[in-house]
A and B are shown apart, each in its own frame.
Chain A
């Protein structure tokens, strides 16, 4: 029946070509991804020593970086949603806790936070464990990967809270009012009307955070996580060839971030709607 959505009008009628709407057309910036990948491949094949050796040495670091980034990002999406809704809560306790969290976390450098979670937090837990005579806690040791993921999640969750809050606030008040005037509860109006629109508004900044998170994940190398950066440093410590190592590491980060940027922009176009 008529329920089929019609193709939505593109921004500019002037350059309108049927079938070439912005959301179906190939994004030309994929070319940059291809270029950078090509550069990396060229280096590896033309000058296999040391570039191929570096690549083989750091590849498990690439996997660790990808794993930490993706899992921290997933948790961040959830934590940010909770934090954002908390910041908008009319309950002053919830609002207070959410605001305190955001203010404290974004006021401390991420590197310091990671070091604190890895080196200071276990000591606190051990102390409490000894005080309670609870052996499991008294013998608590940091797990590097776990610390890295939670540390990144807590920090980026605060940034994400602010993005969600702004996104929800950007939806005109009339949308929620219309929903409530139809008898929807506050929760239903959030769930069916406000959040679906807010999510699309926040996609660009959320995508931006994803890329920033990937880059900031290199800080976990100081807490004994064998990520890409740390593996690069290990290779250099043995062979002492900074130019080749850090060029290769930089290229690998660039391939990942450029690829992510394309992915984000693709998702944005897929979910775009005009209001």
Chain B
């Protein structure tokens, strides 16, 4: 089967730093892939290359059959990919409801009524329909992140990218976000998740990918990776699993 995300030998430089050194990766429809690695390893950069928030210098990325090579194609791909950020990035001047409806109306050209109906359903789904009229500043971190997930889902994406979605959250709020992500995974959403939440990886991931210094060190199913004999993998896992 044709992979929904095809990454082929991608290189990326930030000035003199070689952030991605020939990364290749295929993600299939319905798959949940978790990317782990030390900070500065290039895992977020790789994720951001998939919807071209980051430009890459060499290599090829094809999403759902569309190569990321022209402005038109990039827009087309971005419409199919939802992204959730570490710092939520809710539009600060809009209410939760308006955060969910803006892109639906501007990009998908839906009517106000239709987009509000979809927005309410999604706020229901992430468990905060009563916060529709609240501004981001009035929401807790966990609530903001759930609104951000709902905002991405409102565009009916085929793929969801998560860039350390729980790293900026207090411990008691991590679970409410992970629960939403788990529900999404069980519905068959294709997800690429940069996260060190090993509990989530164990429960939902089909594969875990360890990246270090811009290269894929190892990729395997969670249980296999946790039992890996690879030196670098053991070293890193001992830190995130507190073993």
Contact = CB atoms under 8 A, between A and B. Distances in A.
Contacts of A5: 95, 133, 135
A103 interface: no
Contacts of B82: 181-182
A25 interface: no
B85 A183 contact: no
A273 B134 CA distance: 12
A3 B92 contact: no
A21 to B, nearest CB: 15
Given A175-B92, A181-B51, A184-B107, A2 B130 contact: yes
A181 B89 CA distance: 11
B78 interface: yes
Interface in B39-94: 51, 53, 75, 78-79, 81-83, 85, 87, 89-93
Given A182-B102, A192-B102, 18 more contacts: A1-B116, A5-B95, A5-B133, A8-B137, A174-B89, A177-B89, A178-B85, A178-B89, A178-B148, A179-B91, A181-B51, A182-B78, A182-B107, A188-B106, A192-B106, A197-B91, A197-B93, A274-B137
**Chain A interface category by residue count:** 20 to 34
A181 B81 contact: yes
Contact of A8 (B75, B79, B107, B135): B135
A4 B132 CA distance: 9
B97 interface: yes
Nearest to B75: A183
B87 A174 contact: yes
Contact of B85 (A3, A9, A174, A188): A174
B138 A185 contact: no
B237 interface: no
A7 B169 CA distance: 26
Contacts of A184: 103, 106-107
A233 interface: no
Interface string A165-205: 00000001011011111111100100011001100100000
A9 B134 CA distance: 11
B207 interface: no
Interface of B: 51, 53, 75, 78-79, 81-83, 85, 87, 89-93, 95, 97, 102-103, 106-108, 116, 129-130, 132-138, 148, 151-152, 155
A182 B79 CA distance: 6
B89 to A, nearest CB: 4
A150 B241 CA distance: 67
A181 B130 contact: no
A193 B116 CA distance: 18
B132 A196 contact: no
A2 B53 contact: no
Contact of A185 (B75, B130, B137, B151): B75
Contacts of A192: 102, 106
Nearest to A178: B89
B138 A273 contact: no
Contacts of A9: 137-138
Interface in A238-275: 273-275
Given A180-B53, A188-B107, A192-B102, A273 B133 contact: no
Contacts of B135: 5, 8, 273-274
A3 B95 contact: yes
B155 A183 contact: yes
Interface in A1-43: 1-6, 8-9
Contacts of B130: 2
A51 B145 CA distance: 65
Given A9-B138, A175-B91, A182 B133 contact: no
B75 A3 contact: no
B97 A3 contact: yes
B78 A181 contact: yes
Contacts of A174: 85, 87, 89
B53 A177 contact: yes
A181 B53 contact: yes
A167 to B, nearest CB: 13
A275 B137 CA distance: 6
A188 B136 CA distance: 21
Contacts of B137: 8-9, 273-275
Contacts of B151: 182
Nearest to A274: B137
A4 B133 contact: yes
Contacts of B102: 182, 192-193
A275 B116 contact: no
Count chain A CB atoms within 10 A of each CB in B53, B97, B106 and give the residue with the most: B106
22 contacts: A8-B135, A8-B137, A174-B85, A174-B87, A174-B89, A177-B53, A178-B85, A178-B90, A178-B148, A179-B91, A181-B53, A182-B78, A182-B103, A182-B107, A182-B151, A183-B75, A183-B78, A188-B106, A193-B91, A197-B91, A273-B137, A275-B137
